[in-house]
Structure 1
Amino acid sequence: MTGKTHRRPPQGIPAAPAPVLSPTLRVLLGLAAAVVALAGLYFARDLVGPLVLGAVIVIICHPVRFPLERRGWPTWTATTAVIVVGYLILAVLVALLWYAGVQFAQLVVDYEDQLKSTAEAVISWLQSIGMDGQAADATASILRPANVLAFATSLGGTVLSVLTAFFFVVAYVIFMAADGARYSRAEASFGRGVRPTVRRFQIYNSGVRRYYVVNATFGAIVAIIDGLALWALGVPAPAVWAILAFVTNFIPNIGFVLGLIPPALLALVVGGWPLMLVVIAVYCVVNVTLQVLVQPKFVSDAVSLSLTLSFFSVIFWTFIIGPLGAILSIPLTLLVRALVLEGDPDARWLRWLSGDHEAAPLRPAAAEPD
């Protein structure tokens, strides 16, 4: 027979190793793949946002089924209980957003004249301290009724988009709650081989639940204190600002500022600079004490994310999937870490950089010789 013969390397001489990608090339390929995946999420944000919200609600409500199943209730009954609890959470959220949006729009109409006069007074004061007219006008534009109405309209659009997504979330909750019963039996069905993966997602689910429980608890405390303080100070619509304080508590790092600006500006309109400064002082004392000094300790224990990564997550996921990204930023970041890093033993140091306490070095590094 004719043809080429493949020579084997002589005995004792190892075969040439297979080509291996350089670390730099692997990083570049990983970044390119991440950009493509994130671009897909960006263009599918209207589908991804409700999907993630539905998943988070099911994760929060999933433990409801366990005591029912231990008592011998049928699986479908336990699943129905999970769905009902999830719907109650959604109903409360929608009711709060709707009430706050309607009341905010009414406030703008009621205080239109005061907003105009306050804006003119702010412009005059800024010009008196040396700021040119154009810069002063731009600075005080936040108090102009037209701009406030535009903000209210955009807020209403956001609420409308959330309400539209609500119908998708309702369907997702039903399907995911039903699938959750099946996924909880994965290890019994496939054996110990899937235990590491199951364990990884159990830790993720537990972290997400603790994160939202901690934020809801501290958010309720902050909202009650802020609302009572604003009511005592005579700031209009304290319930609206209490709701805003509760909702923005789920936005890491910058939620406090977002919840402070509207009531502080309204205090400026109805009571002048003294009332505004008092409102800012009250918010700083209450929110800084609870949200900056106390709450991060509990949140850190729940999710193990660094402060820098938490702050960046809010900006990044808001850009990728829209306003829902601010509230879902921590679960999304935890999910990426669980999928990309926690299954790779070589990525232990990256997990440590992200704030994961369980990824601490196994033993102290040996001291360098002098």
Structure 2
Amino acid sequence: MIAALLVLGALWFARDLVAPLALALVLVVIVHPIRHPLERRGWPPWAATTVVISVAYLILAVLAALLVFAGAEFADLVVDVVDELQAAVASVGAWLVRIGLGDQVAEATQRALDPSVLLGAAQGLGGWLLAFLTAAFFVLAYVIFMAADAARYRRAERVFGPAVRPRLDRIRALNSGIRRYYVVNATFGAIVAVIDGLALWALGIPIPAVWAILAFVTNFIPNIGFVLGLVPPAVLAFVIGGLPLLLVVIAVYSVVNVVLQVLVQPKFVSDAVDLSLTLSFVSVVFWTFVIGPLGAILSIPLTLAAREALLGGDPWLRWLSGNAAAGSSPDDPAAPADADTTDGTEPPAEPLDREGAAG
């Protein structure tokens, strides 16, 4: 426990370095399979590595362009609607007083919706962009080194012998789960973003493209991403259209996101990562606290890696990994046999198979 606390404290202290490192690692895991068909076609390793790095940079460039566009549009919008927002906040405070909630509740609500907070965020866009560029520099450097190192692991079995194969299988299963998770989330996030953006455009909500980008990004945050993506356009709808438009926006988001993100998407995510809903939610809170906001988006891959590192190599701990899974049961073939032995001998220390390692 002391060692675990020291490690977490070190991660928290070095979060400005650890968060870009984790992002770069996930990017390399996602794009690494591009290497294999190129090498089968006779490409030299350095050329395949260059393609992997280029694709990772392209993903980063697209994300950066989307975020910069959204930030600039948001800053302009806040300046344009600050007067309307102040009037809306004052009306909410007066309404709370009329229904008998008291001046203190009204003042607390007004402070929570204070337009100066949004103005400060908009005016601080330059500092945010500088921090983003600083983190991007580390990510770009990490991607180069990791992509080059990843090319060497295909020789691991030849160098270390067949005994290393179970560990490589577990690593491949972990990487495959991370890739499936992000492919599923990116697919559903794009669908949700398009539907939400078109709905907001039809309702006359300003800068619907920004809220569509927000819906896409927050789709990568398990459980609470839907709420985070809903709040800004809902507040804006209340400012420009009052309570009726607010309710319409909430209804549209609820229908779209409940159908896709609650009823359909979890089935595909569960097949990809096999984590319980409770553990998924706790992982968001935990990793956000440890490495900052980026931890919310990387929470599932980080949890999968921690589960594999702590539980994947010991057959006696497989029951913990199974209990952390979304669909485990006493009849699950991945569950271990009874730990008690009648003859007092230790069970053979056989490596986990690929299915067991995947949870």
Query: With structure 1 as the length reference, what TM-score do the two structures score?
Result: 0.87
Cα displacement (A) at 1:160: 3.7
Cα displacement (A) at 1:131: 1.3
User: Where does residue 86 of structure 2 map in the other structure?
Assistant: 116
Q: Does 1:343 align with 2:313?
A: yes
Counterpart amino acid of residue 172 in structure 1 = Y
Where do residues 131-142 of structure 1 align in structure 2 (5 Å cutoff)? 131-142=101-112
- Contact kept, 8 Å, 1:118 with 1:143, in 2: the verdict is no
- Contact kept, 8 Å, 1:49 with 1:321, in 2: the verdict is yes
Q: 1:86 aligns with which of 19, 35, 56?
A: 56
Counterpart amino acid of residue 360 in structure 1 = A
- Contact kept, 8 Å, 2:16 with 2:291, in 1: the verdict is yes
Other structure's SS at 1:184 match: helix
CA distance, structure 2, for counterparts of residue 121 and residue 289 of structure 1: 34
Q: 2:4 aligns with which of 17, 28, 34?
A: 34
User: Where does residue 194 of structure 1 map in the other structure?
Assistant: 164
Q: 1:239 aligns with which of 192, 204, 209?
A: 209
- Contact kept, 8 Å, 1:123 with 1:140, in 2: the verdict is yes
Cα displacement (A) at 1:158: 4.7
CA distance, structure 2, for counterparts of residue 188 and residue 297 of structure 1: 38
CA distance, structure 2, for counterparts of residue 207 and residue 159 of structure 1: 32
Q: Does 1:59 align with 2:43?
A: no
Cα displacement (A) at 1:32: 1.6
Q: 1:360 aligns with which of 334, 338, 344?
A: 334
CA distance, structure 2, for counterparts of residue 157 and residue 352 of structure 1: 44
- Contact kept, 8 Å, 2:223 with 2:281, in 1: the verdict is yes
Where do residues 1-370 of structure 1 align in structure 2 (5 Å cutoff)? 31-152=1-122, 157-355=127-325, 360-362=334-336
Q: Report the structure number with the largest CA radius of gyration.
A: 1
Q: Aligned Cα RMSD in Å?
A: 1.7
- Contact kept, 8 Å, 1:341 with 1:347, in 2: the verdict is yes
CA distance, structure 2, for counterparts of residue 140 and residue 243 of structure 1: 28
CA distance, structure 1, for counterparts of residue 13 and residue 22 of structure 2: 15
- Contact kept, 8 Å, 1:216 with 1:246, in 2: the verdict is yes
Aligned residues: 335
Other structure's SS at 1:111 match: helix
- Contact kept, 8 Å, 2:316 with 2:336, in 1: the verdict is no
Other structure's SS at 2:282 match: helix
Change (3 A) 1:193 1:364: closer
Counterpart amino acid of residue 251 in structure 2 = A
Cα displacement (A) at 1:359: 6.9
CA distance, structure 2, for counterparts of residue 148 and residue 287 of structure 1: 26
Change (3 A) 1:220 1:255: same
Q: Residue by residue, what CA displacement relative to the aligned partner does 1:30-67 show, whole Å, maximum 9, x if unpaired?
A: x2211111111111111111111111000000000100
CA distance, structure 2, for counterparts of residue 159 and residue 247 of structure 1: 17
- Contact kept, 8 Å, 1:94 with 1:163, in 2: the verdict is no
Deviates more, 1:148-157 or 1:296-305: 148-157
Change (3 A) 1:156 1:327: farther
Change (3 A) 1:43 1:184: same
Cα displacement (A) at 1:161: 2.4
CA distance, structure 2, for counterparts of residue 65 and residue 327 of structure 1: 25
CA distance, structure 1, for counterparts of residue 125 and residue 295 of structure 2: 15
Other structure's SS at 1:95 match: helix
CA distance, structure 1, for counterparts of residue 112 and residue 126 of structure 2: 18
Cα displacement (A) at 1:253: 0.5
CA distance, structure 2, for counterparts of residue 364 and residue 172 of structure 1: 44
Higher relative contact order (CA 8 A, sep 6+): 2
Q: Residue by residue, what CA displacement relative to the aligned partner does 1:138-175 show, whole Å, maximum 9, x if unpaired?
A: 11333322022234456765554232110111011111
Report sequence identity in percent.
Answer: 66
- Contact kept, 8 Å, 1:352 with 1:359, in 2: the verdict is no
CA distance, structure 2, for counterparts of residue 163 and residue 333 of structure 1: 26
